[in-house]
């Protein structure tokens, strides 16, 4: 079993494995393979329906629980007072222990915004999560959450890749001491297609996927790509082994626009900004 020297962001390993939409034996096998190759950061969610499968892989890995960093997220349907605590308790059971990081998966409705944050903090205080954070929060939401919880938020997981300009989110996160995590870091393959990225990859003799991931990691943003293939996992790990020049970073950053989302549910209309 391999151990990587992994950079951290707020204690979060900079490269992890996303598990959506894996289920059952496919999920368990993939998580085991990633751990065997040195990945120690595993991302799941109540919404994915695979926490038990992830938990099984963690147990079968043979590693001590404190050697792994596990993230899960509270489903939007579970953030109410009547379901929050019980569903988090089920996540803890399914994962074989408290997650290292518990996130609110999507911003709650305005009327429930601070009560949901208080429920998240309560689970932290009960020992049901080692740290807490949010997901899909705008800069204004991050600022509000961090102020309300006295700086307890360590992470905001957002869509982040070269096609989407998330500079305002990243700048605010840095100001507030919040690490960003990138879900859909390859934009479901679309982020590997721009000519500017292909040019950098060709010059460096690297796959375009490695260049995209390197651009993310080099900004101190955590990346959690999902793949079931061993060769792709190894390639993702290779993104830790080189650097892009300032000129290459700037050329790739210039690609992004605010219209570059690949995940944009109807309930978030008008809530991404400011």
Q: pLDDT value at position 4? A: 75
1-15, 60-74, 121-135, 193-207: the lowest-pLDDT one? 1-15
pLDDT, mean of residues 95-117 = 97
CA neighbor of 233 nearest in space, from 11, 3, 7, 36 = 36
Residue whose tokens read 């892009």: 244
Please list the active-site residues.
Answer: 48
The residue ranges of every structural domain in the chain are: 8-186+216-227
CA neighbor of 45 nearest in space, from 78, 19, 24 = 19
pLDDT, mean of residues 85-114 = 98
CA–CA separation, 225 vs 198, rounded Å? 19
CA neighbor of 160 nearest in space, from 30, 19, 255 = 255
Give the single-character DSSP code of 210: H
Q: So what CATH class is 8-186+216-227?
A: alpha beta
- What pLDDT, in 10s, does the model give residues 190-244? 999 999 999 999 999 999 999 999 999 999 999 999 999 999 999 999 999 999 9
CA–CA separation, 76 vs 266, rounded Å? 14
pLDDT at position 97 over 70: yes
Whole-number percent of the chain with pLDDT over 70: 100
For 172, list phi and psi in degrees, rounded to 5: -65, -40
Q: pLDDT value at position 3? A: 65
CA–CA separation, 67 vs 61, rounded Å? 11
pLDDT at position 2 over 80: no
Q: How far is CA 139 from its chain centroid?
A: 17
CA–CA separation, 230 vs 200, rounded Å? 24
CA–CA separation, 192 vs 163, rounded Å? 10
Q: pLDDT value at position 168? A: 97
Q: pLDDT value at position 274? A: 80
Q: For the CA atoms of the chain, what is the radius of gyration?
A: 18
Whole-number percent of the chain with pLDDT over 90: 97
pLDDT, mean of residues 56-66 = 96
pLDDT at position 63 over 80: yes
- What pLDDT, in 10s, does the model give residues 136-182? 999 999 999 999 999 999 999 999 999 999 999 999 999 999 999 99
- Count the Cβ atoms, other than its own, within 10 Å of residue 240: 18
Q: pLDDT value at position 268? A: 95
- With vertex at residue 1, the alpha carbon angle to CA 227 and CA 183, rounded to the nearest 5 degrees, is 25
Residue 264 Rama label (left phi>0; alpha psi -120 to 50; beta): beta
Q: pLDDT value at position 107? A: 98
Q: pLDDT value at position 5? A: 78
CA–CA separation, 140 vs 218, rounded Å? 25
């Amino acid at each position: 079993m391999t151990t990587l020297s992994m950079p951290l962001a707020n204690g979060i390993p900079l490269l992890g494995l996303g598990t959506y939409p894996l289920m059952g034996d496919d999920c368990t096998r993939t998580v085991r393979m990633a751990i065997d190759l040195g990945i120690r950061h595993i991302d799941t969610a109540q919404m994915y329906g695979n926490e038990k499968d992830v938990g099984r892989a963690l147990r079968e890995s043979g590693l001590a629980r404190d050697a792994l960093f596990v993230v899960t997220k509270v489903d939007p349907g579970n953030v109410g007072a009547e379901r929050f605590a019980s569903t988090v308790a089920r996540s803890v059971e399914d994962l074989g222990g408290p997650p290292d990081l518990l996130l609110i998966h999507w911003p709650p409705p305005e009327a429930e915004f601070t009560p949901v944050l208080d429920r998240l903090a309560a689970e932290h205080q009960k020992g049901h999560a080692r740290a807490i954070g949010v997901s899909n929060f705008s800069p204004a939401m991050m600022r509000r959450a961090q102020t309300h919880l006295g700086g307890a938020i360590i992470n905001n997981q957002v869509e982040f890749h070269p096609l989407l300009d998330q500079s305002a989110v990243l700048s605010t996160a840095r100001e507030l001491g919040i690490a960003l995590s990138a879900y859909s870091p390859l934009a479901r393959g679309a982020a590997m297609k721009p000519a500017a990225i292909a040019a950098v990859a060709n010059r460096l003799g690297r796959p375009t996927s490695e260049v995209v991931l390197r651009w993310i990691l080099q900004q101190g943003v955590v990346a959690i790509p999902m793949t079931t293939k061993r060769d792709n996992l190894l390639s993702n790990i290779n993104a830790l082994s080189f650097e892009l020049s300032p000129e290459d970073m700037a050329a790739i950053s210039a690609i992004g626009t605010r219209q570059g989302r690949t995940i944009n549910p109807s309930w978030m209309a008008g809530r991404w900004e400011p």
